[in-house]
Amino acid sequence: MQAGRQIRFTNVREIVEMETILKTYIHEAIEVEKAGLEVNFKKNTEFVIPEELQNKFDEIPALKTTFE
């Protein structure tokens, strides 16, 4: 089972061209919800906060709180 799918569109034509597959994905998602299935995500322990972001956290403590 796929944990998540992301499709980005830049115009309506792309959506129309992918209508069949999009409907399939939507129906699959509905069935997963109905079945109550859950995905156990692995925690990424290797995440390193970039220096620029850490500087903003230091500047704006509320930003860090919201981020976490």
Q: What pLDDT, in 10s, does the model give residues 22-42?
A: 999 999 889 988 999 887 777
Confidence (pTM): 0.49
Q: Are residues 57 and 49 in contact, defined by beta-carbon separation less than 8 angstroms? A: yes
User: In which region does residue 36 sit, left (phi positive, over 0), alpha (psi from -120 to 50) or beta (all else)?
Assistant: left
Q: How many CB atoms lie within 10 A of CB 32?
A: 14
User: Percentage of the chain surpassing pLDDT 70?
Assistant: 90
Q: Which DSSP symbol is given to 44?
A: -
Q: Which DSSP symbol is given to 4?
A: -
